[in-house]
């Protein structure tokens, strides 16, 4: 005889806001990890907006006048109940939990570059740091601090990386807007983009360019004057960013020698 499969009873509708709040608290307590708002909305038969409103109200009970050892963390797409950081040593001692290893310096560098410039490719991270970052990127992926978020629409379609909700939880912030301001990574990113732009323009830079002639009434007429031809002008040259922040010096334009009365200005100099 085949055993009949037991069907789990479907939860009944919650009638009051208090019951809904208690249900959310129970789900978060039992989970122990961030639960998405859309999942809570699906289970409770509410909209995501209503769930976020209920979670905000629940969060106030953990930040009231009476101190508590747990806190309700709210992230952009999920929420979680967790213990407060200052009680971590007591929790590890009571439960016999070994302290996890800290991130290496290279992993912290990669994580910072991703956090402040996301989404980014590994090539971008390598360019900012100046060294290969494959091991650090894979380590952060294994730890769940960064994740793949699609591919860049470029040759080779490299993977794009962003930080995760676990990154926010580990560093004790609710959103990326709470990251401390820093100029170092912005400067490094700008230098990387400048180097890339300089590399694309290297072919054009290596080619000899004609020095621009000063606009003076004493100059000779252009050899193409009167023809239906206009010399192309590279308008993108002024947009190139060089590594030292300045455009390389060009050879000065030849200046017309002062002429004496009665002599032709176009005649070659005698000193030449």
pLDDT single digits (tens) 67-92: 889 999 998 889 999 998 889 889 88
Q: Token digits for 265?
A: 């200005």
What is the DSSP secondary-structure string of 16-71? SHHHHHHHHHHHHHHH-S-EEHHHHHHHHT--HHHHHHHHHHHHHTTSSSS--SEE
Same domain, 185 and 113: yes
The pLDDT, as a whole number, for residue 197 is 61
In a domain, 51, yes or no: yes
Residue 9 binned pLDDT confidence (cut-offs 50, 70, 90): low
* Res. 154: pLDDT tops 50: yes
The pLDDT, as a whole number, for residue 231 is 47
* Host domain of residue 63: 17-95
Same domain, 117 and 192: yes
Domain final residue pick, 42, 77, 95: 95
* Res. 108: pLDDT tops 60: yes
The pLDDT, as a whole number, for residue 148 is 92
Question: What percentage of residues in the chain have a pLDDT greater than 70?
Answer: 61
The pLDDT, as a whole number, for residue 7 is 62
Residue 26 binned pLDDT confidence (cut-offs 50, 70, 90): very high
* Res. 39: pLDDT tops 90: yes
Same domain, 90 and 112: no
In a domain, 85, yes or no: yes
The pLDDT, as a whole number, for residue 142 is 92
Domain count, the chain: 2
The pLDDT, as a whole number, for residue 173 is 82
In a domain, 11, yes or no: no
The pLDDT, as a whole number, for residue 184 is 61
9-30: average pLDDT: 84
More confident residue, 220 or 3: 3
Residue 27 binned pLDDT confidence (cut-offs 50, 70, 90): very high
Tell the residue number behind the tokens 């991270």, with chain if given: 125
Q: Closest Cα partner for 35 from 47, 24, 23, 20?
A: 24
Element (H, E) at 128: helix 122-129
Please state whether the predicted TM-score (pTM) of the whole model is above 0.75. Answer: no
13-42: average pLDDT: 90
């Amino acid at each position: 005889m085949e055993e009949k499969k037991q069907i789990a009873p479907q939860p009944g509708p919650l009638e009051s806001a208090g019951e809904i709040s208690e249900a959310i608290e129970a789900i978060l307590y039992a989970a122990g990890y961030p639960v998405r708002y859309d999942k809570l909305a699906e289970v409770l038969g509410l909209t995501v907006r209503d769930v976020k409103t209920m979670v905000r109200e629940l969060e106030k009970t953990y930040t009231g006048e009476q101190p508590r050892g747990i806190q309700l963390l709210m992230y952009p797409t999920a929420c979680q109940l967790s213990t407060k950081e200052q009680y971590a040593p007591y929790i590890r001692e009571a439960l016999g939990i070994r302290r996890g290893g800290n991130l290496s310096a290279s992993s912290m560098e990669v994580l910072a570059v991703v956090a402040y410039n996301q989404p980014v490719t590994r090539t971008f991270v390598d360019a900012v740091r100046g060294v290969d970052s494959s091991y650090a990127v894979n380590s952060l992926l294994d730890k769940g601090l960064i994740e793949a978020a699609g591919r860049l629409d470029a040759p080779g379609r490299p993977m794009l990386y962003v930080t995760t909700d676990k990154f926010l939880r580990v560093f004790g912030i609710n959103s990326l807007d709470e990251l401390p301001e820093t100029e170092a990574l912005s400067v490094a990113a700008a230098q990387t983009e400048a180097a890339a732009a300089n590399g694309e323009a290297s072919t054009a830079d290596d080619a000899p360019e004609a020095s621009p002639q000063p606009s003076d009434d004493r100059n000779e007429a252009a050899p193409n004057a009167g023809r239906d031809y206009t010399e192309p002008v590279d308008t993108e040259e002024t947009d190139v960013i060089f590594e030292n922040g300045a455009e390389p010096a060009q050879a000065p334009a030849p200046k017309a020698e002062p002429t004496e009365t009665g002599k032709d200005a176009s005649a070659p100099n005698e000193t030449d």
